Each structure stands twice: as structure tokens, then as C-alpha cells.
Amino acid sequence: MKPDMKRAIFPGSFDPLTMGHLDIIERSTSLFDELVIAVLNNPDKNPMFSPEERCEMIEEVLADFNSGDCRLVVESFSGLLVNYVKSKNATSIIRGIRAVSDYEYERRMALMNKRLAPEIETVFLMASEEYSYVSSRLLKQVFLLDGRVDGLVPKLIVDRLRSKNGG
Ligand SMILES: Nc1ncnc2c1ncn2[C@@H]1O[C@H](COP(=O)(O)OP(=O)(O)OP(=O)(O)O)[C@@H](O)[C@H]1O
Ligand SMILES: [Mg+2]
């Protein structure tokens, strides 16, 4: 990586990737030279998809995604976020804010991360209005109760939700 290159980390569970996540990814590509979508390995959260499955789905979705001059990387991580960010020589953490409920949690995390690693900046992007109510958790709830989630996740993810849950 060239010394003036700006690399950002977009961390999350992505269980699974939603259009809300994709919107944040798309908008971040115009701000950075490289964006690492970092899938948290969080077995305690009892995820529907393994970290490997989540990474693979994101890669597949991003395969036909025009990210312009920004390089997109997908990988999983575990442990303290700032340690991971430092290990990648990244300058920024990207987070999306949907509502006041996100804000309070994100404020605490950003301030703690600032204390742990003052050189790393957290960059907040306001959720786009059309997806501001979408979360992976709500989406999975609706899907498991046979509700329609088309349009809120990429088509490929709808298929993977179906095959994961018995057709
Ligand atoms: N619809 C959305 N619009 C904008 N940002 C979003 C959206 N959904 C998630 N994000 C952001 O993406 C990042 C990763 O979030 P995360 O993986 O926890 O997704 P989530 O949808 O909140 O999942 P969960 O329901 O499991 O918590 C966070 O910064 C979160 O605020
Ligand atoms: Mg969340």
C-alpha cells in the first residue's frame, strides 16, 4: 500500500449482509482507496451463518459491484477491533447510524476506541432513509416467519436464507 493511501475498515456481523450495509459500502468507496469489510467472528451471538459463509456471500454480492478506484476486501476478524484496525494499517473505522438507538451505542464505542487508539478515526455515515429501519436481526425474524424480505437484501442472500432454512 502506498503511504498516502487511505484504508478504512467497515466492521460488523453481517449476518447476513443487507441493502443497508451495501449502501454504506457503496458510499464509503468514494471516500477511501481501500475498504475492508470485516466480518466479526462472534459465536456467542449465535449467528445464522458462519463467518466463512458470511464472507463468501459478501464476496459474491460484491463481485459484480463497481467500486470505482476503491479496492474492496472481505475478511473475518475476532478480538479487539482497534488491534485489528492497527494490524491492517487502516486509518478509519466506518459505522452506519440508523437512529438514536444506534447513536448511543456507537458513541460509547467510538469514545472507547479513541481512548485505546487515538490515531484511528471513526467515520459515521447516516443511513439512507429507505433502509434506515433495516437490520439483519429484524430481517431474519421476518424471514423466519415467512415474511417477504425481497429488496431489503440482495437476491443472492434471499436464496441463501432459503437454502439455509430448508428451501
Ligand atoms: N440499514 C442500515 N443502514 C445503515 N447502516 C447500517 C444498516 N444496517 C446496519 N448498519 C451498520 O452496519 C454496521 C454493522 O452492523 P451489524 O453487522 O450489527 O448490522 P445489523 O443490521 O445492526 O445487525 P444486527 O441486527 O445483527 O445487529 C453498523 O455500523 C450498523 O450501524
Ligand atoms: Mg447491529
Digitized pLDDT (tens) for each residue of the chain, 167 residues in all: 666 899 999 999 999 999 999 999 999 999 999 999 999 998 898 999 999 999 999 999 999 899 999 999 999 999 999 999 999 999 999 999 999 999 999 999 999 999 999 999 999 999 999 999 999 999 999 999 999 999 999 999 999 999 999 87
Type of residue numbered 104: E
In a domain, 1, yes or no: no
Q: Are 167 and 158 in contact (CB under 8 A)?
A: no
In a domain, 139, yes or no: yes
- Ligand 1, atom 15: nearest CA belongs to which residue? 12
Q: Confirm whether pTM is higher than 0.95.
A: yes
Q: How far is the CA of 25 from the centre of ligand 1 (A)?
A: 11
Query: If you ran DSSP here, which 8-state letter would residue 153 be given?
Result: B
In a domain, 104, yes or no: yes
Active site residue 50: no
Q: Which three cell numbers stand for residue 153?
A: 437484501
Parent domain of 103:
7-164
Q: How many domains are there within the chain?
A: 1
In a domain, 123, yes or no: yes
In a domain, 18, yes or no: yes
Instruction: Order the strands of the 71-77 sheet from edge to edge.
Output: 71-77, 34-40, 7-12, 92-97, 121-126
What CATH number does the domain containing 54 carry? 3.40.50.620
Q: Are 157 and 144 in contact (CB under 8 A)?
A: no
In a domain, 114, yes or no: yes
Mutate to test the pocket of ligand 1, among 136, 142, 149 (most ligand atoms within 8 A of CB): 136
- Ligand 1, atom 7: nearest CA belongs to which residue? 20
Query: If you ran DSSP here, which 8-state letter would residue 32 be given?
Result: -
In a domain, 45, yes or no: yes
In a domain, 66, yes or no: yes
Active site residue 21: yes
The one catalytic residue in 86, 98, 114, 135 is 98
